[in-house]
Structure 1
Amino acid sequence: MYRYFLAAFGLMLSIATQAQDTLRLADAMALGLEKNYGVVINRLNQAVLDNNTAYTWLNWMPEFSVDGGLNQRTQNVNLTFASGETQNRPGAGTFSVNANAGLSYRLFEGFGKRYRIQLTELAAENGQQGLETLMESTLADVSDAYYALVVANNQIEVLETNLALSRERVDLAQAQYEVGKSSKLEYLQAQVDYNTDSALWLAQQEAVQSASISLNVLLGQEPTTPLIPESTIPIDTNLVFETLRQGLLENPQIEQQRNSQTQAEVASDQARTGLFPTLDANVGYGYNFSDAEAGFVLQNQTFGLTYGLTARWSLSGALDARRLQENTNLQLQVAEATYGQLLLDLEGTLAQVYNVYQNQQAALALEEQNVAVARENASIALDRYRLGKSNALELREAQRNLVQAESRLLNVRYRIKQVEIELLRLSGQLLAE
């Protein structure tokens, strides 16, 4: 009964699989860059920085302002003039209107405008490099999750092959028991082993679903969306260490740290602007009119142009600028040291990962040999069992060896792919891929 349930379950999975298109790695990576929420959020943040850069021309614009006012007031007026005359007006009204337009422009501030523009542009570049770092990390995560799903699916095939072998063993043991050639104990043991292998197959189905959910989350889509990846893990055995090492300088993290150095240099120059005076040009036009029911002047109207230059310099501001410049010089040294440390760390990581890459290739060749031997051994063990020349323990051991060898081969291929992806990420080539 149990085997009929497994057959029906396998048939349903097969039908569902046929209804889906194969998801290629390139498509998964493109989907990850488009829909992964981490990438989407950082892309929006980058749009803000780019928008700031698009408006840096405002730094060169003069400041233009207009204002106006309309006032009405009522007062009780009691006036005594020098001539002895008096004026008493309860509730005297006064009406006034004013309007002004002004234009000011900073002619000189120690090149501060230029430095502010440079820092804004560098901030946008730094954000873009940070976005590229995140995109590469996301691509690495998507690739890793994709091949984890490939391995999980391949492991299903390994267990299905083993299950078929166990099913044949059950049928042979049953037939031999029914004709009196073997004991019932051997038949029951074959059934127990078949059930054990069936449970492993069901548990692997759970692993497949878990791997599929993890990949869907990275792709920014519904976790239960069915995914059918390709069935193989291609291995690139031609990665050259020196080429990868030269590519380190293209790593977005390195580019971002170089950008931070440049920012520190510009910030140091900007701090120095506080040592210089500022010079502003001002021009304005004003109009004022007032009408009063009591007072010395009953009506007044003025209008005209004003203009001039204003120079400012502050001793405390200059001293503070000196402090800022000293601090920014120290920050520049920190940025330079951080760049050196980052480059050294990446070179060390690259060397370690490449060493794993080489060792795993040797392990791959060994495991491929092991699988070939294990398959032949299992085939011979089954033939001997059919002919009654071996016992169930010998066949079961051959089964275990085959499953373990094929599982190790899958894991080695997956491990090589992981380090291959990491090598491409470290050398700044993953986005180019």
Structure 2
Amino acid sequence: MKKIFIIIQIFIIFHPLFSQNLLTIEEAVKLALNNNFSIQIRKNEVEITKNNTSLGNAGFLPRIDLSGSYNTSVNNTNLEFFDGRVTERTGARSGSLNTGLALNWTLFDGFAMFINYDKLSQLNEISKLVLKSEIEEVLLNIYKTYYSIVSQKSIVKLAEESISISRDRLNLTSLKTSVGSASEIEALQSRVYFNEDSSNFLNQKEILKSLKIQLNNILARNPETEFDVVDTIALNQNLMTNLNFEDVKRRNTHILISEKNIAISDFDYNIIKSNFLPTLSFYGNLGYLNSYSDAGILKSNTQTGYSLGLNLSFNLFNGFRNSNDLENKKIISMNNQLNLKQVIENIHSAFTINMSNYKKYLELITLEEINLSVARQNLDIATERLNQGVSTPLEFREAQQKFFQANNRLINAKYLAKMMESELRKISGLLIFDY
């Protein structure tokens, strides 16, 4: 037991002396934006859709193919002509070299190429919104973990203060017991309370360590990286007056993505409509041919030339597939519109609930601050009564626990208020505006 007491004493005295780098919430966010793996993956996906948004992928540019072939053969040849001539060759060689350059260029495809380019541009915009959504999720996770650490840091300090009080009570009771003014039971109770607080302190320190490891993981850095955080949670008291749902609808990432999906379904519908129009394409071919033979009518043959032309195609009937596709695209568009309405309703509901909770926690903070002040006064009175010998250690312990419970409730109310604030900023599309 004495060893535990000494370890706790040494830890409490010296742990503030170990220097740790202060990590602010702004620095944590910047680290995540640069290092977080999920964000990096989404950034790469944006680059892919950006690369895909090109005139070539949309169908504006021609296709040019280069082809070539060469073959050779060796044959024993015996030729008899109508005029009586006979040609006989053993091991006669023959071969040919053939090269060509072909160009195919769609000049008109029912405006599908224009629609495809607009669709690719919209897909690129969607990928940017998906990236924004991923960043919002990561930042919200950072806020939750970072301010959990801030709260836990305060809880550890409370646990440390509780040990200090219990140690003083233990020393006082031991002194009283030695002079006969306190019973052995009181001394044992003081020892039990001190041990409880020591155990709680170690547990709270371990929770703090685990939270820091979680944050390091989000920031994609060594889990053992040591750092400190700020001491208090700052709240935006003006948030409720600055937010309204009309602004939320214009900025919310999920609503914007749903709107873009409607645009994509409209593009798909118009692409199917383009199948009802004719297609006009231009083609050109440039060729070179060289052949030779040791036996035959011609010893060699060389040809060069080109050809040009236009192709016009107009589908008259394909088993109603285009009509069926149009109907299906209409249904998909209707579903996307219904999905948008559902997303708006879900966001509106979440916005209303979080706003109500945020207001509740702000009011709760005020109430718990009053409760803490009362609990502090109660503890001071209980301390004085215990010193005067007019109250029992059990009564003092109860006052001590009520004081720390009031502290914990205040810490928790501030944390929950900050979480509601962060959720509201995310819903409103404001969470990443500062970074």
Instruction: Identify whether the pair has TM-score above 0.5, normalized to the shorter chain.
Output: yes
- The CA distance in 2 between the partners of 1:380 and 1:85, in whole Å, is 136
8 Å contact 1:280–1:309 — kept in the other structure? yes
Q: Tell me how far 1:316 sits from its aligned partner.
A: 5.0
CA deviations on 1:273-325 (whole Å, 9 max, x unpaired) are: 22222211122222212221222333322222211111223345583332222
Equivalence map 1:207-286=2 (5 Å): 207-240=207-240, 243-249=243-249, 250-286=251-287
Specify the alignment match of 2:328 in structure 1. Answer: 327
Q: Tell me how far 1:98 sits from its aligned partner.
A: 2.1
- The CA distance in 1 between the partners of 2:195 and 2:319, in whole Å, is 84
Amino acid paired to 1:327: N
1:200 and 2:200 matched: yes
CA deviations on 1:145-189 (whole Å, 9 max, x unpaired) are: 000001111001111222211112112212221222111221121
Amino acid paired to 1:371: L
8 Å contact 2:60–2:106 — kept in the other structure? no
8 Å contact 2:52–2:120 — kept in the other structure? yes
1:160 and 2:160 matched: yes
Three-state SS of the structure 2 residue aligned to 1:430 is coil
70-79 vs 405-414, which moves further: 70-79
Specify the alignment match of 2:432 in structure 1. Answer: 431
Specify the alignment match of 1:9 in structure 2. Answer: 11
- The CA distance in 2 between the partners of 1:38 and 1:285, in whole Å, is 50
Amino acid paired to 1:421: S
- The CA distance in 1 between the partners of 2:29 and 2:260, in whole Å, is 27
TM-score normalized by structure 2? 0.94
Q: Tell me how far 1:38 sits from its aligned partner.
A: 1.0
- The CA distance in 2 between the partners of 1:213 and 1:55, in whole Å, is 47
Q: Tell me how far 1:96 sits from its aligned partner.
A: 1.7
Equivalence map 1:276-425=2 (5 Å): 276-317=277-318, 319-425=320-426
Residue ranges of structure 1 left out of the alignment (5+ in a row)? none
Structure 1 residues 349, 183: CA separation in 2 closer, same or farther (over 3 Å shift)?
same
Residue ranges of structure 2 left out of the alignment (5+ in a row)? none
Three-state SS of the structure 1 residue aligned to 2:227 is coil
- The CA distance in 1 between the partners of 2:175 and 2:38, in whole Å, is 60
- The CA distance in 2 between the partners of 1:246 and 1:5, in whole Å, is 58
8 Å contact 2:58–2:117 — kept in the other structure? no
- The CA distance in 2 between the partners of 1:365 and 1:56, in whole Å, is 63
- The CA distance in 2 between the partners of 1:318 and 1:243, in whole Å, is 54
103-112 vs 61-70, which moves further: 61-70
Specify the alignment match of 1:180 in structure 2. Answer: 180
Amino acid paired to 2:40: V
TM-score normalized by structure 1? 0.95
Task: Note the aligned Cα RMSD (angstroms).
Answer: 1.8
Three-state SS of the structure 1 residue aligned to 2:23 is coil
8 Å contact 1:273–1:321 — kept in the other structure? no
- The CA distance in 1 between the partners of 2:285 and 2:422, in whole Å, is 65
416-425 vs 315-324, which moves further: 315-324
265-274 vs 305-314, which moves further: 305-314
Structure 1 residues 294, 58: CA separation in 2 closer, same or farther (over 3 Å shift)?
farther
Percent identity between matched residues is: 27
21-30 vs 305-314, which moves further: 305-314
Equivalence map 1:77-226=2 (5 Å): 77-226=77-226
- The CA distance in 1 between the partners of 2:193 and 2:62, in whole Å, is 86
Three-state SS of the structure 1 residue aligned to 2:151 is helix
Q: Tell me how far 1:378 sits from its aligned partner.
A: 0.3
Q: Tell me how far 1:242 sits from its aligned partner.
A: 7.4
Aligned length: 431
Three-state SS of the structure 1 residue aligned to 2:59 is helix
- The CA distance in 2 between the partners of 1:158 and 1:359, in whole Å, is 25
- The CA distance in 1 between the partners of 2:58 and 2:122, in whole Å, is 17
8 Å contact 1:77–1:90 — kept in the other structure? yes
- The CA distance in 2 between the partners of 1:92 and 1:321, in whole Å, is 58
Three-state SS of the structure 2 residue aligned to 1:240 is helix
- The CA distance in 1 between the partners of 2:286 and 2:43, in whole Å, is 46
Three-state SS of the structure 2 residue aligned to 1:215 is helix
Three-state SS of the structure 1 residue aligned to 2:134 is helix
8 Å contact 1:268–1:325 — kept in the other structure? yes
Q: Tell me how far 1:80 sits from its aligned partner.
A: 3.6
Three-state SS of the structure 2 residue aligned to 1:225 is coil
